[in-house]
Structure 1
């Protein structure tokens, strides 16, 4: 059993690459589209905005507001999964209208408006509402944005092109927590200041998108091959996945592994509880993870294009498993903390853009944004369930025991995912 390769013109090229073999090196030179660079800049500003808040949210909820880990688990679950309610629809609208930029702009704009709510939210329900609005904005923008990247990228360098975007994205993801750290050092309990900075960068991201990113790019039109796209129906989405069994197996695998991705905030809370370092340093944990992501996004994308995207995707989850094990070990210290941050960064670098590249490779261009939205929905819903369930496990069993249980199940899930995708026997090749 393996995932065969569907080219983006609708045909199939069943390149069965035996384990250990190398794919042929592409003859064309790698060039980064200006569209991808500007989309990376938009994501960079937006991630400064979102990650500066995400870096203080665990402390703000459990420390400043005094809510329980169950409450934080629900809020973190919303943070992970609320975007799922609109992802597929946003992808379909992008495919249907051929205007992915407009759909993405609506999402970025909604997130910017939601940032205002953080200035006034002071309890569980208000914070949950603001996070929901912000994440719905994320759901609107992600699939159209990735469709723009796919349409602007060279097909043989898909994972590397996504790696360039994710590298710029992760610069913002590292800068946001760093700004939050500096604010908390200079202004103890300066959460409102962080929220104001977050709003300013969100507005900058929307401005760059509107002014610098073209509305249409190659492949992002309302018609492909002279065939008009049909209206969206759930039956059509089922048809897309059933016709392409590789895509269906990929979605099942992504959902299974996503259900065992508990969220960075819980891991950081565990490290902080064990290490007992000052709360002002908490945002630096997010910085460390995103710096590693920044450093490895392009190299791992390049490795995925050359060696195989499925193996890199699965190995990223091996890094996550190692992070869980390290976090659960009885000793604490700087070394174990740095090790967890490195492993988390490798996990994101090996999975985020690589998954989008695999979906692009397996999907017909006429339904690309819809397929990307479907994959993102599966991941978002599964991680939402994971965060909520782990908050309950933390409360009932304690953090260490809960992490051990998740690690054991993740190891079994990796075996199932390898079987479903044929990941280490036959894998999706770049050409």
Structure 2
């Protein structure tokens, strides 16, 4: 049976174009904000607020998608909001306007994530969700690698032209939105019309399966020790790596992630999602131990290669595993709830890493994370994996 359906292809292409749009701006966002008068503190507040908005809204809109029995409207609205936010950033430079534009961008991600992932899971026949999510991550991440590459080339030819870059980023964003018009949604039979409050997704936890609770607990503990990738880049700077090489390594990581996500997703379906995820955690620990002890540029490339493999082993696989622990009609809620709590855990993780970095040492930050994740592997080894949402009640 054909695993990668037309809907999976279209959703993956939509993510590809949207990530080109978003990642074109990722390396230059701090530079642009500084150029229009934002302080480092204000940049931090802006990004923290935007990410918190995205994370918490994933839970709400995931729940709303399940209650309304619809996926596609949330997908279309979410991608449209992210696309329109790009030129908004360049039109005016007032702080409240920039806050609004950045929040709209992240809100778009919150609106679409749970519904989109539920659509992907619904397209996966039998034990093939690892392959489906892996394919989506491959396309998504190729966009994440191409975006900053295009930005670097443009800024090399047009130094300081940040405003024009925001307008150019709107083009692939619109391509992604237009792609959503080609998606045909399968009818969801169970529709429960009732009011949904912003934090109503939290009420899903007591009613969720034991498998979901155990998996969610492990994933959130991992997130608490998995700080922002910014710390990896800061460690490179700490060891004297140039800005150009640093961005090159970031692109290299995304390319490795993209190349391996689909094949490793297929392998995960054959050997078990749990085994693949644990392998990813092992790679993660190796990378963090390596970042603590190695100082050679060549070794950093090896570590970023392994970091790309880690991401390919875990990102799509974790979504596929979550979708196997919940009922079909609760899928967007289950994924959205995970994403909401993960956003909070991510903020805490980066704060913890920053404190250890500042008060102890950069090396201690990476050793602490590596040891914690190594111990967490034992927890995941003892989790019983369910293979589809039909395996539990």
| Counterpart in the other structure of 2:9 | 37
Count residues with an aligned counterpart.
388
| Counterpart in the other structure of 2:70 | 99
Residue ranges of structure 2 left out of the alignment (5+ in a row): none
Give the 5 Å matches for 1:392-411. 392-411=355-374
Within 2, Cα distance between the matches of 1:398 and 1:60? 30
2:64 corresponds to 1:84: no
Contact 1:52 1:179 in 2 (8 A): yes
Taking structure 2 as the reference length, the TM-score comes to 0.87
- Output one character per residue of 1:253-293: Cα deviation in whole Å (capped at 9) or x when no partner: 1111011111222212321342432x344432331111111
Contact 1:321 1:410 in 2 (8 A): yes
Q: Post-superposition shift, 1:370?
A: 0.9
Give the 5 Å matches for 1:47-196. 47-57=19-29, 68=40, 77-78=48-49, 80-119=51-90, 130-196=101-167
Contact 1:53 1:198 in 2 (8 A): yes
Residue ranges of structure 1 left out of the alignment (5+ in a row): 1-28
SS at match of 1:377: helix
Q: Post-superposition shift, 1:97?
A: 2.2
| Counterpart in the other structure of 1:16 | none
Contact 1:81 1:382 in 2 (8 A): no
| Counterpart in the other structure of 2:251 | 287
Contact 1:94 1:100 in 2 (8 A): yes
Give the 5 Å matches for 1:367-406. 367-406=330-369
Within 1, Cα distance between the matches of 2:360 and 2:202? 40
RMSD after superposition: 2.9
- Output one character per residue of 1:348-401: Cα deviation in whole Å (capped at 9) or x when no partner: 211121111111111111111111111222222211222233334434444333
Contact 1:306 1:429 in 2 (8 A): no
Within 2, Cα distance between the matches of 1:75 and 1:408? 32
Q: Post-superposition shift, 1:243?
A: 4.7
Contact 2:56 2:341 in 1 (8 A): no
Q: Post-superposition shift, 1:168?
A: 1.1
2:307 corresponds to 1:344: yes
2:319 corresponds to 1:356: yes
- Output one character per residue of 1:79-121: Cα deviation in whole Å (capped at 9) or x when no partner: 6543122112211221222321111111112112222343267
- Per the alignment, do residues 56 and 337 of structure 1 end up closer, same or farther by CA in structure 2, a change over 3 Å counting? farther
2:383 corresponds to 1:418: no
- Output one character per residue of 1:40-95: Cα deviation in whole Å (capped at 9) or x when no partner: 00000000011222233456668997955x76665554565431221122112212
Within 2, Cα distance between the matches of 1:407 and 1:306? 28
- Output one character per residue of 1:125-162: Cα deviation in whole Å (capped at 9) or x when no partner: 77655433322211111111111111122122111011
Within 1, Cα distance between the matches of 2:234 and 2:95? 19
Contact 1:73 1:392 in 2 (8 A): no
Contact 2:280 2:309 in 1 (8 A): yes
Within 2, Cα distance between the matches of 1:237 and 1:353? 23
| Counterpart in the other structure of 1:268 | 233
Within 1, Cα distance between the matches of 2:95 and 2:372? 31
| Counterpart in the other structure of 1:3 | none
SS at match of 2:128: helix
Within 2, Cα distance between the matches of 1:31 and 1:142? 21
Decide which structure has greater helix share: 2
